[in-house]
Amino acid sequence: MSEPLHKTYVWDPVVRILHWALVIAFATAWGLGKFGPDIMTLHFYAGYTVAGIVVLRILWGFVGSYTARFRSFVRGPSAVLKYASSLPSAKPSHRYGHNPVGALFVVGVLLVLLMQIASGLLADPEDYINAGPLSQYVSSDVARQALALHEPLSTLLLVMVLIHIGAVAYYKRRKGENLIKPMVTGYADLPPNAQGLPKQQG
């Protein structure tokens, strides 16, 4: 017999606002980079917004609420592999906060975003218009390498976004867990002994 589920507060407003703000800012930056005007001013502004969101999320990962902090959800390889082995099961994970695989993905996305931001700031297409604001402080070789990285990194981020969407759909269909609702309302339906709960709440 399954355990009763209780409405449990999981995600604080800062996490939720930054999450959806990043969705909008990244989609805007990506779209402007691919289809926007040749003069990339709007793309730059969208990129600066992404950068600000990423910096705030990293800072919040150290000083924010329990589920927001990296120390509460980042786990080692054994925990990641153990959780990954349970993914094919239809049994709900009922995890309080990020699961170990999701945590690995979060860290990976933040790292790739940081590389993407850095490459944009340093890139120089040598058109005297769309140079990154920091390109003047590095050599032309570094600026060209940054430019060469910027496009592949944007494609990698798009793939990661699609994987994330696929994972959300999989959890809904296979495990019966709605991962979107908690990121909107802050609350998830969890059993009293949900994995990841801090001791004072367990």
Tens-place pLDDT, residues 40-84: 999 999 999 999 999 999 999 999 999 999 999 999 999 999 999
* pLDDT grade for 198, boundaries at 50, 70 and 90: confident
Residue 148 pLDDT greater than 50, yes or no? yes
Domain positions in the chain are 9-186
pLDDT of residue 159: 97
Q: Angle at which helices 13-35 and 140-174 pack, to 10 degrees?
A: 120
Pick 9-186's CATH classification: 1.20.950.20, 1.10.3720.10, 1.10.10.10, 1.10.760.10: 1.20.950.20
Residue 176 pLDDT greater than 90, yes or no? yes
Residue 1 pLDDT greater than 60, yes or no? no
Q: In terms of Cα–Cα distance, which of 147, 144, 124 is closest to 136? A: 124
Question: Both tokens of residue 114?
Answer: 């940081």
Spell out a b/e string for 9-40, using b for 16 or more CB atoms within 10 Å of the CB, else e: ebbbeebbebeebbeebbebbbebbeebeeeb
Report helix, strand or coil for 143.
helix
Mean local confidence (pLDDT), 12-39: 95
- Cα 143 to Cα 119: distance, rounded to the nearest angstrom: 8
Report the mean per-residue pLDDT for the chain.
94
- Distant-in-sequence, close-in-space partners of 105: CB < 8 Å, separation ≥ 6: 160, 163, 164, 167
